[in-house]
Structure 1
Amino acid sequence: MASTDTRGGADDGGASPPPSSAAASSNGSPNGSPNDLEGLEAGLDALETHTASRVPFGRLLLDKVLPPVVAVVIVLALWQLAYILEIKPHYQLPGPLDVWNALADEWYKGTILGVVWNSVSRGALGFAASLAIGTPLGLIVARVKPVRAAIGPILSGLQSLPSVAWVPAAIIWFGLSDATIYTVVLLGAVPSIANGLVAGVDRIPPLYLRAGQVIGATGLRGVRHVLLPAAMPGYISGLKQGWAFSWRALMAAELIAKSPELGVGLGQLLETGRVYQDMPLVLGAITLILVVGIGIELLVFAPVERRVLRSRGLIAGAR
């Protein structure tokens, strides 16, 4: 009888779990119900999900359009103020209206569109050739260690070398021809594109490469389906820098290499203004060079970069 009481007491004491244990069980412990675990997983999924909502048109104008417009207005106001105060003589520092009139004169002559097109077409063709050369070169340098040890420092040195330094050599090699201009563009853009791709490949988690090997993505298939997609953010950065370097190299080549056979580009227009001491034309050509460079960046590279980063969850979804 006593033993029965003892056993019953022991059963009573050990049968009921402590309150804290019961609470832990009901709050999603390993002993919790499946519904609790499903709720926890759903909450974690919700935290990882970016909800894309459409921003009102007014807010879009306020956030995206108004800041650059205000910046341009401020620059023009300061420029006009410097003109009024005559910080420099008017023939050295013309006002914004004088520059506008100089560009309007070129427009009425029917030459301005041809000048811009000559430079843009040269820049686009030179950049396309740089892309075709720099991409495989970057892949080889990134994946083949002996090649990287031999060529990597040379690419970095070429990237830091001003493109204008190649113009005299290119003129001696090819004379006053399109080959001279494209040579300077290639030497300016290829190192940047290759180094950007190398940097992108270096940032790929090794797990991605091993997973690609497991599923049979090796050789060119691995490059297409694993290596290039994973390295895309760094590659896009290299493309942006490559375009900037190719545009600068093109302007340097056009500024120095002048010939009737080459036609007139923005660089030649800039040099014409210098020769005739036409400062409004000089500033107008500089403005056009700046506008084209910014326009290509905003219309081509910025949307591609946003799409790539968004697809990897590095920025919020489109709004």
Structure 2
Amino acid sequence: MAGTETTGESPKTTAAVEKTDEPTGERPKQSSQDLAGLEAGLDALDAVQIRRTSPAEVLVQKVLPPVVAVALILLIWKVLVWAKVTDDYKLPDPKLVWDALHQLWLKGELLDIIWTSVSRGLFGFLIALAIATPLGLIVARVKFIRAGIGPILSGLQSLPSVAWVPPAVIWLGLNDKMMYTVILLGAVPSIANGLVSGIDQVPPLFLRAGRTLGARGLVSARHILLPAALPGYVAGLKQGWAFSWRSLMAAEIIAKSPDLGLGLGQYLENQRNNSDMAGVLLGIIMILFVGIAIELLIFAPIERRVLRSRGLLASAR
């Protein structure tokens, strides 16, 4: 009796205390296990090695597939010629197209024709880039300008570039200014809309953090908006180049003048007037080749670098 009074606690109370203390002791142990699992997961992420692709893998994965595709197209083309599915003047033998290319090379005209169009296209694209970048920033950040100009930019992007050739000829005449105007009207909306789309996807937290650090106005645009919107911006640049090239080809095909020089579009139209189907196909192939080459040599490396810097590529090339 005396021992029971001295403790002042019943056996039930003691058991309850022991049960209450039991989870309390396990809680730190469980937390340490969770932290250890989290650290192990982070270590596993850090342990992912980014290895460089070997030349053999690049050859197999990047070079071989398009070569095989081109060879297959040529084979199908040759089979159709052998089978005489249509008249020879409508579908010439691939050898005739090669002969037309060889003749241009022997005359020294091939590189001049290509350079005339490429120089116009790249220069017009650079002008469009200089105009579209600040325009996209303004449209993306100023609400009333976006409400007024945003739908117009979208409408201009969907308008076929060839529609601008007749008014540009009337306004400016048959000269290089007309060519660059058509390129600008085709490329500026695409680049600006791509930048606007990229800025719309920038997390607001980035902007708030920038304002906290004192980045406002042009400083914020340069160091926060443009770097964060870079993936969408690069996509807009790629589309802008595609529109530039298409606009230029439309202008060269429609507008003919000795003052303009002989570009790819005008060469294609000349061969059509001469009813030379081999020359027509050669013109189409050269236009396609230049468009793909610019994409692979300029825009694809830029896009890979942007994606790699954000950890969006599994391997470095």
Task: Tell me the TM-score normalized by structure 2.
Answer: 0.91
Counterparts of 1:244-283 in structure 2, within 5 Å, are 244-283=242-281
Alpha carbons of structure 1 residues 101 and 4: separation in structure 2 relative to 1, 3 Å: farther
Q: Does 1:180 align with 2:178?
A: yes
Partner of 1:198: 196
Q: 1:139-182 deviations in whole A, cap 9, x for unaligned?
A: 11111111111111111111111111111111111111111111
Unaligned residue ranges in structure 2 (runs of 5+): none
Partner of 1:124: 122
1:50–1:317 contact (8 Å) kept in structure 2: no
Alpha carbons of structure 1 residues 3 and 54: separation in structure 2 relative to 1, 3 Å: farther
1:50–1:316 contact (8 Å) kept in structure 2: no
Take 1:19 and 1:98, find their aligned partners in 2: how far apart are those partners? 90
4+ runs deviating over 3 angstroms: 2-26, 36-40
- Of the three residues 236, 244, 247, the one matched with 1:238 is 236
* One-letter identity of the residue aligned with 1:101: D
**3-state SS of paired residue (1:88):** coil
**Alignment RMSD:** 2.3
* One-letter identity of the residue aligned with 1:247: W
Partner of 1:62: 60
**3-state SS of paired residue (1:315):** coil
Q: Does 1:152 align with 2:150?
A: yes
Give the total of aligned pairs. 314
Q: Which moved more, 1:64-73 or 1:105-114?
A: 64-73
Q: 1:19-66 deviations in whole A, cap 9, x for unaligned?
A: 88766654x51xx38xx8366324324336642013333333222222
Partner of 2:139: 141
* One-letter identity of the residue aligned with 2:141: R
Q: 1:222-274 deviations in whole A, cap 9, x for unaligned?
A: 01000111111111111000000000000011111111111110011101111
Alpha carbons of structure 1 residues 96 and 6: separation in structure 2 relative to 1, 3 Å: farther
Counterparts of 1:1-319 in structure 2, within 5 Å, are 1-3=3-5, 25-26=28-29, 28-29=30-31, 32=32, 37=35, 40-47=38-45, 50-319=48-317
Q: Which moved more, 1:87-96 or 1:170-179?
A: 87-96
Unaligned residue ranges in structure 1 (runs of 5+): none
Take 2:15 and 2:141, find their aligned partners in 1: how far apart are those partners? 69
* One-letter identity of the residue aligned with 1:147: I
2:52–2:315 contact (8 Å) kept in structure 1: no
Task: Tell me the TM-score normalized by structure 1.
Answer: 0.91
Take 2:106 and 2:15, find their aligned partners in 1: how far apart are those partners? 103
1:201–1:227 contact (8 Å) kept in structure 2: yes
Alpha carbons of structure 1 residues 204 and 86: separation in structure 2 relative to 1, 3 Å: same
Alpha carbons of structure 1 residues 85 and 40: separation in structure 2 relative to 1, 3 Å: same
Alpha carbons of structure 1 residues 66 and 19: separation in structure 2 relative to 1, 3 Å: farther
Alpha carbons of structure 1 residues 12 and 151: separation in structure 2 relative to 1, 3 Å: closer
